Structure formats: C-alpha cells, structure tokens
Amino acid sequence: MAMTTPMPARSVKGNVKAQEKILYVANKLGLSSLKYMQGTTRVIYDQQTTASTVQTLFEGSQGRAFPLSNLGANGNQFQVNEALLIEKIAFFQPDAADGQNFNGPANLSYKFDLMIGNKTVIKDGVVEANGEQAFYTDGNAQSHVMHLEGVGILIPPQVEFKVTVKGFLTDSRVASTERIGCYLFGTGVLLDFNTSI
C-alpha cells in the first residue's frame, strides 16, 4: 500500500479584514505602493434614466455628470493607487431623467451580473424587493441591497468594471421595463498625496 504525504494544515487566524484582502490582492498584482494610500469608506453609483428591460451600469459613466453618476472623468476604472472592496451592492429606481428622485413599485426585484475586467464575478445574482433595504430617500422609496458578508469583491486599480441588470416583478417574475441605478459600497483606497508625491 502506497503512503501519501498529508496536505499541510492551513493556519487561519480569524476573519480576513477588508484591508487585509485589499493588500493581499495588491501584492499579488505587484502594487506595493497601495499600502501607503489612504483607506476610507467609499460609495460609487451610476444610473440609467431611460427605461429598458436590460441596463448596463458603470460602463460609459464618464459621460454621465453628477447627479447621474459620481465616478467622474475616469468612469468605470479607478486610478493607479485606487481600489474598492465591494461589501454591499444596492439597486434603486430613478423616477425621471434628472436622476435626482427615486420611486417605483415595492415589488421590483433585480437580477444582475457583476463583471470586473473580462471576468464575471457574480453571475445571475438576485436582489429581492423584500430583502435588506437602505437609503430611504423619498419617503417610501428604498434601495434593494445585497450584503457580501465576510467575502467582499475587489475592484483593483485600472481595471474596467460594469453591472448588467434586469428588473422584474417579484410576485410574477415577469421582466419589467425600468430605469435602474446601482450603488457599490465598501472599503476603498484613495490616493494619498502626502506619501505618493
């Protein structure tokens, strides 16, 4: 009988923190200066205010000024020493082309794909209307939220990302033609000019 060498035991010391995951990925990508940048809580968002059954968010966002998007001239790609570890994904429904107010039926759910670079990192994720909710902005208008508890997904510097989303009625599962917006929020890394220049 052949003897096999046992696999070495893995040493896991508690939960991995957001900052540790960011630094681990940064080191794997050869981004050694990322550890000197400023950590922060970060929220980015984009919205499509023309109703459709399928919306692509963040792609082309550099052409949508605030308040339609808060990404600015770089659009769906962070600068050299910027990153975002996504901890929550939220969807909302703008009520008009100006993107300043929210409304919509309480029974609207969302099915989405999150792509980073040329990889789909969440495929057919579903955020239900009666799940976790946040951002009560206009009385009863809420965002529908998916919490990536204990995992997080990192968007590294200079890599394009986008969300493709379809709205559907929660009770009948029928596709719905809607305006849709998306928040990505979590732990971010921003350029810290005190140490990088």
Per-residue pLDDT tens digits for 156-177: 888 999 999 999 988 888 999 9
Helices and strands in the chain, H and E counts: 2, 11
Q: What pLDDT, on the 0 to 100 scale, is given for residue 174?
A: 92
Query: In terms of pLDDT, which residue wins out, 84 or 98?
Result: 84
Q: pLDDT above 70 covers what percent of the chain?
A: 71
User: Between 189 and 178, where is the model more confident?
Assistant: 178
Residue 116: the pLDDT is 95
Q: Which residues contact 167 (CB under 8 A, 6 or more apart)?
A: 53, 55, 93, 108, 109, 110, 175, 176, 177, 178, 180
| Residue 114: φ, ψ to 5° | -110, 120
**C-alpha–C-alpha distance, residues 99 and 77, integer Å:** 22
Tokens found for residue 193 = 């000019």
pLDDT exceeds cutoff 50 at 147? yes
Token pair for 44: 């980015």
38 versus 124: the higher-pLDDT residue is: 124
pLDDT of res. 38: 67
Cα–Cα dist 71/61, whole Å:
7
Look up the pTM and report it. Answer: 0.78
26 has pLDDT over 50? yes
